Each structure stands twice: as structure tokens, then as C-alpha cells.
Structure 1
Amino acid sequence: MSTGAEIANTVVAGGIATNYHDQGDGAPVLLIHGSGPGVSAWANWRPVIPDLGKRFRVIAPDILGFGYTERPEGVRYDMDSWLGHLTGLLDALELPKVSVVGNSFGGALALHLASTHPERVDRLVLMGSVGVPFEITEGLDAVWGYEPSVASMRKLLDIFAHDRRLATDELAELRYEASVRPGVHEAYSAMFPAPRQNGVDAMALPEDRIRAIGQETLVIHGRDDQIIPLSNSERLVRLIERSQLHVFGQCGHWVQIEHSARFNRLVGDFLAEG
């Protein structure tokens, strides 16, 4: 089931029919969503796209394996495939260079993109990011180990949000329905099989490659995040020379949803400095 707003434009990126949002004018900004079950670019970035779209050209794709992007039979869900999909998208949209905002799993993709293709990344924003070694949290293990049911989704929403009022039964129902569309859970299960610590390790960049990142970088984290530890962002800001850290109090893993207005101002002003 789709909310309607989740399906936007389609482009063939690296041979894959890709659903993506494209809003606004100005300097291009690529938004890379996280890896929760039933996620899509719109579900992740819905409070962000319209606001940042007033200042920038915002591109928000459903990453390979997620949302309404094609899931080719036999595809491998790994960093090489995800990076190939992202660079294919930039090529298809004729965008030689973009600023990148990555959330959680999307933060790891953003880090790898900046490290592997530095010429294609202007400024970098990492929010609740994976990408450094850490012991998997109970929260992340629960997210990646999700088995579809409305009750399970409801429990996950309570882990994502510090403000429990955001974790409504209606949202749980919508995200559950998205997680059981044909082929969605099969793809999701293939991405992060047990032992799920392996998934964390596979997304981590060696420290020397993180230290070599030269882009101006804004690191953002929710102080009360139960999924990705705050220590990840503290580590990133120590490793990346041209970086700053902003921690939101009374905030879980959903900074862009729980504190959307302040998040949009912070990120928008940082990106505009370029």
C-alpha cells in the first residue's frame, strides 16, 4: 500500500528503475534514507524535502532494495551495489557533484560515496550514522531482525522515537503495510541476516579512509538514540578534520522528524555556506 506521496519520478539508474523525489532549484542535495523496514525516501524525509526544496534542488531516491525502486532478481545487497546505484542516479540526472545528507544506513553510504568518489561530493551531513565499528545495539538488532506484524512495527516505532506521541498506531499500520508489499521483506531479510553484527562491520570504513575525507562535514545525532550510539558521531567528528557535531537533546533516532524545523534550519544554513 502506498500513501501516494511516496511514488514520485522514475529514472533508470545503473540499469535499475528508480523511484525518486526531485524538488526545488539551486545547488543539488542528495538525501539518502535509513534502513528501517518499510522505509522509503518519502517516509524518511517527508518533513525535510518541502522545506529544503525552498533553498536547494533536493533529490531523494528509494535506495536499491527499498521503497518503490526496482528490485532485480539475483541482485546483491552490498556496498558496491548501493554505491553503483547512487552514482548511476547522479549520472542519469547529469549531476556531477552534490552535497549529501545521509541518515543512519544512509550515512554509511554517504561516507563511502565521499571516500570513493570525493569529486562527486560537495558538503556532507551525517545523521545518526553507521560507518565506524561499534557493537550492534539491541535497537538496531531489532530493526534489522524485524519480522512483519503490526505489533512488531509498533514496538520498533517506540525504539525510533524519543517522543512516543510520534509512534502512532496509524503510522505503525502504514509502515507495516509498506513492509509486506510483494518482494519487500524478502529483500530486507537478504540485506541484514544474522549474525547482524556482520552488517555493521561491512559498512564500516577504515579509519584512514575516514580521516582522508576532506569535505566540510556536519555530524548530527539524537542524544537519546537507542539504535545508533552517540559515540559513533563523536568518533566521526574526531576523525574528520573539517567537521562539527550537533547533538539534539530529547531526541531519538528520528532527528529530522522529532526536531524537523531546527534540523532543516541547521542543515540548510550549513549547506548554504558552500
Structure 2
Amino acid sequence: MTQQPAPTGSATRTEASPEIGRTIDVNGIATNYHDHGSGDPVLLIHGSGPGVSAWANWRLTIPELAKQHRIIAPDILGFGYTQRPDGVRYDADTWLAHLVGLLDTLGIDRVAVIGNSFGGSLALRLATRYPDRVNRLILMGSVGVLFPITPGLDAVWGYEPSVQNMRRLLDVFAYDRGFATDELAELRYRASTRPGVHEVYAAMFPAPRQDKVTAMAVPEQDIAALPHETLIVHGRDDQVIPLAASCRLLDLIPNSRLHVFARCGHWVQIEHADRFNALVEGFLTGVI
């Protein structure tokens, strides 16, 4: 395993940003990831909001789950503080290869996987392509099946940087406006405008964005063949990914269950952090 300094163009460790964890070479890509706790490994795959990072997505989840598990939370290729090399084709196969490469580099053969939104599609792809490498699967507000793109998701993927636009997106993400503060909007805006970040983000999700929903979908026959125990989680009031997508996953995956949080938008892990963490911990340990 090769550890490297923070990627060129990213913040340095001297800035003490909590979003910067460790840096590891994954197939030539300097990859930022968080590695906390011990025990059975759990891979956390973040969503695709502008300026997102693993820590921003999972900051309330990592400390709790790390009490009983080894938590691995990478910045997916093209996001956060992972290197963004020139000439990369950003698509589901590229992202999957990066995740598998991370597991290989860390020497992790089998892992529980939690995928949020866009990350849910990657979790599904990992479980269907490499079923022996996944033991349990958790999908939260997940992409991965076909659905008409929502105005909320179109706004997320079509984001143009400004504090005002980021503030509007926070209102789309959260049911409780108390979570969508001006301070958070400023913080996430700054993250979305670090050098090179928006250029790559805009290239990932150009219009027409319905095509990207289709490209991220996993064949339904592959989903229906999943052998894994699967927990599906969704906010009832999600404006980004429709609840119907999780209902479809419930129909398709034989060993699945669906937990819907009322008074909750796309941020289950933030708006209902304590209940979400307890639910996930119970599922991972087989208590529920």
C-alpha cells in the first residue's frame, strides 16, 4: 500500500480540513479516503451533489459506525479531494473500477456496502458484478433503476456555482429547513468552486440529464438476481430521488426490506442521523 501527499490542487493537511483523510495510490490515482475503526469492513459510497466529499456526506455516520466496524469512506474519482487526472472518462464503469481498485489496494476481499443516491447505483453495480465481494447491502435514496428525472435531481446535476444556487439546492435536499443554513451554503459553495472541481462536475452530468439516470441504471435482471440481504432506506419527502425508485428496488431484490423516514428529504443520514445509524448498525450486526 502506497501512501502519498494530498493530490495536486487539493487542500493540504496543514489546513486541517476534516474532509481530508488519508491518501492512497489506486491504479495511479491519488485517492482521498477515511479509514476509521476496526472489525468487519464497511464501505461508504457518497452521493453526487456539487462540492460533495465522503466526509461531507458521512460525517455523522462514520464516528458511530466506527465504534463496531472498520469504516472505509473514499472520495470517488472526480469528487472531493481525490485526484482528477486529465483524460478520464467519468462513467459507471470508471467509478466501479476505482472502487474495486481501492478495495484491492487495501487488501479487503469482502465488505458491507452503504450507497447514498448516486453512490447507491455504484453499490448495486459492485454487488451485481462482484457478488462475492459484498456481504450486506444498504441503499439510501438510491439511483440504479429507471425513473423520470425529478426537477430536484436536474437542479443538482445542473448546478451553476453561486451561494444563492447552493442555498436553493440545500432547500431541495432537506425537508427540515433548519439543516439548510446560510453557513452550510457558503461552505458547500466554496467546496464546489475549488480549482478544477466544477469543470469536472459539469462534464459528468451534461444535459439532457435523463440520459444520466439511464446510464446509472443497473439491468433489472441483475438486480433481481442479487443474493444479498439488503436494507433500502428513503426519505418520504425526498425531492431528488423519488420514493418509487426504492419501492422498485424492494420489488426486485429478493432479500430486501424498505424503511421510509417521514418528514425527511434526501438527507436521511443527516436529518435523522441517530435513527439512521441505529437502523444501519442493527442491520449490519443482524439484530434487525
Counterpart for residue 157 of structure 2: 144
Q: Which runs of 5+ in 2 are unaligned?
A: 1-10
Contact 1:32 / 1:101 at 8 angstroms: preserved in 2?
yes
Specify the SS of the correspondent of 2:20. Answer: coil
Aligned pair partner of 2:216 in 182, 191, 203: 203
Aligned pair partner of 1:216 in 229, 239, 245: 229
Q: Equivalents in 2 of 1:231, 1:271: separation in Å?
A: 25
**Identical-pair percentage:** 68
Q: Equivalents in 2 of 1:17, 1:117: separation in Å?
A: 24
Counterpart for residue 3 of structure 2: none
Counterpart for residue 266 of structure 1: 279
Q: Which runs of 5+ in 1 are unaligned?
A: none
Q: What is the TM-score when the length of structure 1 is the normalising length?
A: 0.99
Aligned pair partner of 1:109 in 110, 122, 125: 122
Instruction: Report the Cα offset of residue 119 of structure 1.
Output: 1.0
Q: Equivalents in 1 of 2:282, 2:16: separation in Å?
A: 30
Matches for 1:82-161 after TM superposition, within 5 Å = 82-161=95-174
Deviations along 1:38-66, whole A, 9 cap, x unmatched? 00000000000000000100000000010
Matches for 1:162-177 after TM superposition, within 5 Å = 162-177=175-190
Counterpart for residue 79 of structure 2: 66
Q: Equivalents in 2 of 1:111, 1:80: separation in Å?
A: 12
Query: In the alignment, is residue 185 of structure 1 matched against residue 198 of structure 2?
Result: yes
Query: In the alignment, is residue 23 of structure 1 matched against residue 46 of structure 2?
Result: no
Contact 1:30 / 1:59 at 8 angstroms: preserved in 2?
yes
Instruction: Report the Cα offset of residue 3 of structure 1.
Output: 6.8
Q: What is the TM-score when the length of structure 2 is the normalising length?
A: 0.94
Q: Equivalents in 1 of 2:28, 2:252: separation in Å?
A: 35
Counterpart for residue 6 of structure 2: none
Q: Equivalents in 1 of 2:158, 2:236: separation in Å?
A: 24
Specify the SS of the correspondent of 1:246. Answer: strand
Instruction: Report the Cα offset of residue 14 of structure 1.
Output: 2.3
Contact 1:5 / 1:42 at 8 angstroms: preserved in 2?
yes
Contact 1:14 / 1:84 at 8 angstroms: preserved in 2?
no
Instruction: Report the Cα offset of residue 273 of structure 1.
Output: 1.6
Greater RCO, CA 8 A, separation 6+: 1
Q: Equivalents in 1 of 2:85, 2:132: separation in Å?
A: 29
